[in-house]
Structure 1
Amino acid sequence: MNYETSKRSFWEQFLTVARQVPVDLSVVNLYVVATALVITVLPADATTVRPIVVLPLIVFVPGYVLVAFLFPRRHSLPERFRTFSEERVTDETAGYIDLVERGALGFGVSVALVPILALGISVAGFDLSTRNILGTLVAFAVIGSVLAAFRRFRVAPKQRFTLPVRRWFVGLHGALTGAGSVTGTVLNVALVLSVIIALGTLGGAVTSPADGQATSEITLLTENGSGDLVSEGYPSQFTSGEEQDMTVRVENNEREETTYTVVVVVQRVDVTDGSASVLEQEEVTRLQNTVGQNEIWTERHAVAPKMIGEDLRLQYLLYKDGAPDDPSPENAYRSAYVWISVTEN
């Protein structure tokens, strides 16, 4: 007895499986990997390329991945309406959505989803830094696309949503070459390029701040009863020489890595006609740290003023690079202060 067996090669099996991989979700993952490389490899001063590359990750990809997970089938909206009008909704006909709706929902859902993810980062106890936000979006896109792919695999091939890539190529070729003349072809190509350039310019304008908007922010914080950092309820009563905890936060929006120095001083001031003049100043401590682009530096420290008096000004003076020997609000880059009273020990 003869047995004939036909075994497919590894590459034949690989290609068979590869043809079933969702093209759109594969493109999403390739884009996410490329974006992660751009963020980590490009220098910090590449302020034109980064925003354009990152923009879809913020305004489209999270929503599209969620929509792909919720709607794995390919049917169009009119067919779904016909199903509803016939009052028969089954597992095979539920969840219909077409390509145009997916694109529109991708933008709309992202607008609602990104703030929720940012809130999750904050609730988890992490800083809302650019790195944490982008890392969360990357993880959401990768994990969500994998789960969406599994959902599609559970749908029958004829019902499964797929991108009509071959039809697009045929249509694009016809649009570019079907005008019947060289002039028509050139005009069509110019139109496509102009749309691409316009979208790139819009992305750069939306995500890149103007030259005058490069800045840093300093905020004073304190810990409330729940252990959260808040910008209220600062300690106001000090005893000379005794320490109390304060927290300062510096946000780097300089579009480059920056070294900051924070000088903490206590000042006795005279307020006349709404203007304050410093009568006496005592330096309490200095803090310094190098902060990456779009990163946040949060420093908890002890403050032990020795100057005694009422209505003293505990002031934080922020400098880029080093601080001068005579720090003051006039020569500081940014400043913040609270009013305190210091009594004798």
Structure 2
Amino acid sequence: MELRNLRGYLDLLVALSWVVLAAAVVAVSLHGIVRLVLLVPIVVFLPGYAVVSLSYPTAGSPTTESANGGSNAGLRARFARDNHAIGGVERIPLAIVWSLVVVPGIALGVHFSPSPIAAEPLQAGVFGVTAALLVAATVARARHPANERFVASLPRLPDRSSGFGSASSPLGTQASSTSHPGARLLLVVSLLVLASSVGYAFAASPHDERFTELSIQSGEVTNETTALYPSTLVDGQAADFEFAVGNHEGSSVEYEYVVALQHLDGSDAEPVVVDERAAERGEFELADGETRTVTADVTPETTGDDVRIVVLLYRDGAPADPSLENAYRSLRLPVDVTASDSVAASSARQAPGSDR
């Protein structure tokens, strides 16, 4: 392929390479400024540029006042078939505007698809649609002779004598020389909006937080549900409750958990633990993004409403003296422990004055 012919596809090849590189960065979960620099154009520019390149594969013929004659014949020549082209400068704001149409359209398609609304299907949709449009734009451009194809080039500043609206061939070797100031004003405004949005995205987007999620599994919640966990236990009877551990640390983590029953003295403003008994402990490993549900077995040995269940979660092993203070994550679950039916019946039989 001659160098001249290759230049006719250079912008599309660069755009397609950018999409592939951005997809690779997402696939390997690379974060930071590199990810931001690669993904911002994917959202605000490249999808629209692919649409514009597909719609306008040629550079068109230069139109001048003499050719157009300022008449209806000139207008017909200006908008004749295969002459409906735009210059490189006009493609930039059009690409931004079309990106604002394509990306929300992809999000809408994901919404009505079986896939959940999440980052992964949205990113896959944007990457796939943009790449497909770029390939289609390449095919559309290849259907025209080499001397008619749009060729992107760096913009040139207008000459002092040419005025604001008459710069020659910016971003295209065959762009019209009669661009109007309104188009350039639209370009400036669009670029300002783009720069502002990129700056806002950089300043306002939260940093990738790495954390471990520890939560109670409440099961099915109905109108009759009074608590999200078994809050009423019976003395001497085992009770099961579930909690979930989710790993969002960015790598695999080995967890160890300790479930304990604490008897509290609530006479002070801050409850004091007067008795503690470990009920269950265990350990497991979770990959990044994985969640595990743990079922713990608890058997209370005291009664009253001053009892609580604590779940202590540790990374890379629990210490010799696990507590709320040294736990990586923890749950505090107040419970009310009642006497069993047999104990209550025995107490009733032994009570003075009871009927026999």
Cα-to-partner distance string for 1:206-259 (whole Å, 9 max, x where unaligned): 7784xxx97634331425449xxxxx833434453243433233432xx66543
Q: Distance in 1 between matches of 2:108 and 2:336?
A: 41
Which residue does 2:320 correspond to in 1?
A: 325
Whether the 8 Å CA contact 1:329–1:335 is kept in 2: the answer is yes
Letter of the 1:73 counterpart: S
Correspondence for 1:314: 309
* Structure 2 equivalent of residue 296 of structure 1: 289
Deviation at 1:329, TM superposition (A): 0.5
Secondary structure, aligned partner of 2:34? helix
Mark the runs of 5 or more structure 2 residues left unpaired by the alignment. 58-74, 76-80, 160-197, 222-226, 342-356
Q: CA RMSD in A?
A: 5.2
Q: 1:36 deviation in Å?
A: 4.9
Please state how far the C-alpha of 1:297 moved relative to its aligned partner: 3.7
Distance 1:28-1:313 versus aligned 2 partners, 3 A rule: farther
Secondary structure at 2:271 match in 1? strand
Give yes or no for the alignment of 1:148 onto 2:136: no
> What is the Cα deviation at residue 336 of structure 1?
2.5
Select which of 31, 44, 65 maps to 2:18.
31
- Asked whether the 8 Å contact 1:58–1:137 carries over to 2, the reply is no
Contact 2:7 2:151 in 1 (8 A): no
Residues 1:67 and 2:48 are matched in the alignment: yes
Does the C-alpha gap of structure 1 residues 150 and 215 become closer, same or farther in structure 2, counting only changes over 3 Å? Answer: closer
Give per-residue Cα distances to partners, 1:288-322, cap 9 Å, x unaligned: 34456xx3342112122111443532322222211
Distance 1:136 1:125 in 2: 7
TM-aligned CA deviation for residue 120 of structure 1: 8.6
Seq. identity, % = 20
Distance 1:337 1:119 in 2: 38
Partner AA of 1:298 in structure 2: T
Larger Rg: 2
- SS at structure 2 position matched to 1:304: strand
Residue among 305, 319, 326 paired with 2:298? 305
Query: Which structure features the higher share of helix residues?
Result: 1
Question: Using the alignment, how far apart are the partners of 1:145 and 1:151 within structure 2?
Answer: 10
* Among 257, 261, 265, the residue aligned to 2:256: 261
The aligned counterpart of 2:33 is: 52
Do the aligned partners of 2:211 and 2:248 also contact (CA within 8 Å) in 1? yes
Match status 1:249 vs 2:246: yes
TM-score calculated relative to the size of structure 2: 0.53
Return the TM-score normalized by structure 1. 0.54
1:115, 1:268 → 2: CA distance? 52
How far apart, in 1, do the equivalents of 2:239 and 2:43 lie? Answer: 50
